[in-house]
Amino acid sequence: MRIGKNLDGIWDFTFSESADFNQYPGKEKFENALAVPGCFDVMAPWFGKRGTGYFRRLVHTGGTVQLSLDGLGIEGEVYWDGKCVGTCPYAYMPEKFTFDAGGSGTHELVIAVSNRYNNVVFPFYDFYAFGGIFGSVTLEELPKDHLEWVRITTLDYKTGKIALKVRACRFFRKEQDLTIRIDGKAVKIVPFSGREQEYRLKVPAFKLWSAEEPNLHQLELLLKDDRLEETFGIRQIEVKGPKLLLNGKELRLFGYNRHESHPEFGAATPPALMAADLHMLKDQGGNFIRGSHYPQRESFLKLCDKMGVLVWEETLGWDVKPPELFSRGFLHRQIDQAHKLAAVHYNHPCIIIRGFMNETESQLPRVRSIIRSVYKAFREVDTTRPITFASNKYEKDVCMDLVDLVAMNPYPGWYDSNWDEVSGIHHIAPRLKQLAAAIPANKPYMISEIGASAIYGDHDPYKARWSEEYQAELAREVCRAVLNDPRYCGLCFWHFCDAKSYINGGRVLGYNDKGMLDRYRRPKLAWEAIRQEIKKQQRSNKKTTK
Ligand code: ADA
């Protein structure tokens, strides 16, 4: 049997600005304590410092174990009894390491986390590069012959037919019985041999998963001494001409880009805060989050599965420019990230869009082959979800034909106004119309970012830029232009709440303050304005369907 241990809690900690990150720190020097998950550079004495944080704890275990890290940043190395057992090269990416933990007893686990910039996270990214362990650390004791993973795919939402792709840790020459249980009842016993097998079956008494009714099912697989458990939803996401369909019905997305960011927690936002964020979204009438701009935490995705929030999840690679963009290493890392991300979050019904490389140089013909390759990498693992990237090249974009859904990040009324223009609101409707006309008519199209800065608490009788009034007016105007127009399959504002960014890069107070909520989730005027617009739209939808 598997025995799972959640290792979150208070760990020993030490920090060094100078230490070489790729080396075991030795046992003696852990003079501090820190919570896991937790970021070190959001508090004294490490606030804003860059270097290596070492987290250490003892674990009682033995035999074959799998250690899961649900994201850290900027990069990490894992030491078990002083030996390196795994590396985490990509910020925010969940990683799993299976290894022999040695004899039953007490062992030392050290996770070294560097928050120095590397070739994945650059100082020009418009979000702060926090240092720490962002998600849970868990350990499972595994039987020697164990299952590695199962990928669950809905083949037909009308009949509840699913496919299970099952992978074991080793090649079984002799056939074994694999018992498939769903919602606590055995539905099939099938032969398992080799390393990977695929099965098809109908889920008895199935219920569909959707944003309105997020019904989930439980799968258990029993093979020899092992038992693997997964939660899944029966739902199909499809692209049909310019429409996005969920279980055959047209899907309209409304929501926000969201960073994992909070002044006190950094990127290690606790699940309670994630839940509160999602409840605010739903309460306003939203159904969608773009997880900008990196892999999401397991707890966040679990909440979205249960609460019926639809998610766009993407790889990290923000606005990367040549020569880095054209380096072989960059493409290699994007492909590797796409493979990992598509696999690790495969079973979450909430994820409906796969994304990569926010705002790349998609006006350049040379970028087409990069986009093709990353797209292909996602497809190799996941054939079920639409794949795209968010573009800011607008009419000049030469890559729109390569993705399943076109997503644009226009900022009319904000970045496009003249130096001395008091208000840019009048730009919004015409600009959005003009842009929509340039999108291939046979593809779904969404606004993946749009918004304006507003300093929380700043009010202005003339609705001047940077005031809450200006942002509210802009949001209202955008809702009116987009929500009722069937050309758009979605509207995703930039962004949910203010999030820490460059310290000296022109962001007021060091925050990207286009949040409709401030950094402590206090609503700006735009929040209520948007709620009213959504209500209006819902009322008019009801009238037209009557
Ligand atoms: C871009 C980018 C966001 C953010 C935004 C802004 O479109 O994708 O991460 O930087 O602009 O606030 O300017």
For 79-122, the pLDDT digits (tens) are: 999 999 999 999 999 999 999 999 999 999 999 999 999 999 99
- The answer, yes or no, to whether any atom of ligand 1 lies below 6 A from the CB of 192, is no
pLDDT at 504: 81
| Ligand 1 nearest atom to the CA of residue 449, by list position | 7
414-431 as b/e, with b when 16 or more CB fall inside 10 Å?
beebeeeeeebbebbbeb
pLDDT at 281: 98
Confidence of residue 546 (pLDDT cuts 50, 70, 90): low
Nearest to 55 by CA among 5, 115, 4: 115
- The answer, yes or no, to whether any atom of ligand 1 lies below 6 A from the CB of 494, is yes
CA of 192 to the centre of ligand 1 (A): 49
CA of 281 to the centre of ligand 1 (A): 20
Residue 207 CA, distance from chain mean position: 26
Least confident of 46-55, 339-348, 433-442, 497-506: 497-506
Q: Give every CB contact of residue 515 below 8 A, 6+ residues apart in sequence.
A: 495, 496, 497, 498, 499, 524
- The answer, yes or no, to whether any atom of ligand 1 lies below 6 A from the CB of 501, is no
Residue 161 has pLDDT above 70, yes or no: yes
pLDDT at 545: 66
CA of 339 to the centre of ligand 1 (A): 25
The CA-atom distances, in angstroms, between 170 and each of 103, 144, 174, 286 are 22, 9, 12, 44
Percent of the chain surpassing pLDDT 90: 92
CA of 467 to the centre of ligand 1 (A): 19
| Ligand 1 nearest atom to the CA of residue 411, by list position | 7
Nearest to 4 by CA among 65, 70, 58: 65
pLDDT at 18: 85
CA of 126 to the centre of ligand 1 (A): 7
The residue whose CA is least distant from atom 3 of ligand 1 is: 126
The CA-atom distances, in angstroms, between 160 and each of 47, 154, 214, 235, 258 are 51, 7, 15, 9, 33
Strand partners, 444: none
Q: Give every CB contact of residue 545 below 8 A, 6+ residues apart in sequence.
A: none
CA of 90 to the centre of ligand 1 (A): 21
| Ligand 1 nearest atom to the CA of residue 127, by list position | 9
- The answer, yes or no, to whether any atom of ligand 1 lies below 6 A from the CB of 449, is yes
Q: What tens digit of pLDDT does each residue of 14-27 get?
A: 999 987 777 788 77
If you average pLDDT over residues 9-13, what whole number do you get? 98
Contact (CB, 8 A) for 427 and 416 = yes
CA of 446 to the centre of ligand 1 (A): 16
Residue 185 has pLDDT above 90, yes or no: yes
Least confident of 13-27, 41-55, 274-288: 13-27
The residue whose CA is least distant from atom 4 of ligand 1 is: 126
- The answer, yes or no, to whether any atom of ligand 1 lies below 6 A from the CB of 453, is no
Q: What tens digit of pLDDT does each residue of 381-437 get?
A: 999 999 999 999 999 999 999 999 999 999 999 998 888 888 999 999 999 999 999
Q: Give every CB contact of residue 507 below 8 A, 6+ residues apart in sequence.
A: 126, 501, 513
- The answer, yes or no, to whether any atom of ligand 1 lies below 6 A from the CB of 498, is no
The pairing of beta strand 511-512 with beta strand 406-408:
unpaired
Residue 414's identity, in one-letter code, is W
If you average pLDDT over residues 279-307, what whole number do you get? 98
- The answer, yes or no, to whether any atom of ligand 1 lies below 6 A from the CB of 467, is no
Q: Tell me how long the chain is.
A: 546
Residue 390's identity, in one-letter code, is A
Q: What are phi and psi of 162, to 5 degrees?
A: -130, 160
| Ligand 1 nearest atom to the CA of residue 359, by list position | 8
- The answer, yes or no, to whether any atom of ligand 1 lies below 6 A from the CB of 77, is no
Q: Give every CB contact of residue 184 below 8 A, 6+ residues apart in sequence.
A: 218, 220
pLDDT at 415: 93
Q: Check whether the bond before 293 is cis (ω within 30° of 0).
A: yes
Instruction: For ligand 1, pick from 512, 513, 514, 516 the residue to mutate: most ligand atoms within 8 Å of CB.
Output: 512
Q: What tens digit of pLDDT does each residue of 475-519 get?
A: 999 999 999 999 999 999 999 999 999 888 789 889 999 999 999
CA of 204 to the centre of ligand 1 (A): 45
pLDDT at 90: 98
The CA-atom distances, in angstroms, between 435 and each of 202, 408, 431, 490 are 44, 9, 6, 15
pLDDT at 505: 78
The residue whose CA is least distant from atom 9 of ligand 1 is: 126
pLDDT at 37: 98
Residue 188 has pLDDT above 90, yes or no: yes
Residue 372 has pLDDT above 70, yes or no: yes
Contact (CB, 8 A) for 71 and 295 = yes
- The answer, yes or no, to whether any atom of ligand 1 lies below 6 A from the CB of 126, is yes
pLDDT at 28: 73
Confidence of residue 538 (pLDDT cuts 50, 70, 90): confident
